[in-house]
Amino acid sequence: MKNILLNISFNGSFFHGWQIQPNAVTVQQTLCDAIKNLTNESVNLIGCSRTDSGVHANSFVCNFKTESTIPPEKFADALNCELPDTVVVKESFEVPESFHARYDCKGKRYVYRILNTKTKSPFFNGLVFHYPYEIDVEKLDRASKDFVGTHDFTAFCAAGSDVADKVRTIRSFQVFRRGDEVVFSVEGDGFLYNMVRIMVGTLLDIGRGKIDQNSIKKIISEKSRDNAGVTVPGEGLYLDEVFYDGVF
């Protein structure tokens, strides 16, 4: 029995998130079907995270156990022949039997992409959030630093989350311009439901003067979702990198 790690990327516009659910096309189900076509095995495919409908991934790690004789490094090419163009396996290799894509994850980096132009672009449909208002990137970058550190992020968690411990550590947060895009890059040890999208929405509300630029620490301390900003759409969000000790 071999434990195979897959490092994948996917266009979330075509999926109702990662996790298998009835009557919906998901990344997990699509991969499981492709693996079964190759190995004739119904595998338990473990993902590093859940992603919502429309959310993308530049790098998403998952693993499964198999008795297949296919060499571990060949699974990438073999699966890419079975998968739609919206999912790509970038690499595959064998990991220790105890490896678990979710529990062994030490951190993640997300990026949120905003197309900051007056009009929409048909070439970015579903891949970025179009935001026509002026963005003071330096102002938002300064404000984003107040998220860095270990805090209770209850105010930045969507209602309906059943996670009891809402303390997370944000290691870095950057806001920068790249041509017509404004990019929000945030790295941490873990994230709550919709946390990145609420943090980005809060920064945008700061940019428009709806929230005071020095109020992030106060919002964190008050632990009320009502005090934070809007939840921006999932289409601009990408899981950019997943971190492990001694795996990559």
pLDDT digits (tens, 9 = 90+) for 33-75: 999 999 999 999 999 999 999 999 999 999 999 999 999 999 9
Does a structural domain hold residue 220? yes
161 is in which domain, residue-wise? Answer: 107-243
Q: What is the mean pLDDT of the chain?
A: 96
Residues 138 and 91 in one domain: no
Beta 237-243 vs 56-66: how paired, if at all?
Answer: parallel
Does a structural domain hold residue 101? no
First to last CA, the chain: 21
Residues 218 and 121 in one domain: yes
Does a structural domain hold residue 24? yes
Residues 41 and 118 in one domain: no
pLDDT digits (tens, 9 = 90+) for 225-246: 999 999 999 999 999 999 999 7
pLDDT at 248 > cutoff 70: no
Instruction: Give per-residue burial for 180-199: e unless 16+ CB within 10 Å, then b.
Output: eebbbbbbbebbbbbbbbbb
Does a structural domain hold residue 102? no
Does a structural domain hold residue 15? yes
The domain that holds 118 is classified in CATH as 3.30.70.660
Alpha-carbon gap, residue 178 to 168, rounded angstroms: 28
Does a structural domain hold residue 248? no
**H-assigned helices in 111-193:** 137-144
Q: Which residue matches tokens 């998130």?
A: 17
The tokens of 103 are what?
């529990």
Catalytic residue among 33, 52, 146, 165: 52
Alpha-carbon gap, residue 238 to 155, rounded angstroms: 22
205 is catalytic: no
Alpha-carbon gap, residue 37 to 81, rounded angstroms: 11
- The predicted structure's pLDDT at residue 66: 98
Residues 71 and 194 in one domain: no
- How many domains are contained in the chain? 2
Does a structural domain hold residue 200? yes
Residues 68 and 190 in one domain: no
Residues 83 and 111 in one domain: no
Alpha-carbon gap, residue 231 to 158, rounded angstroms: 8
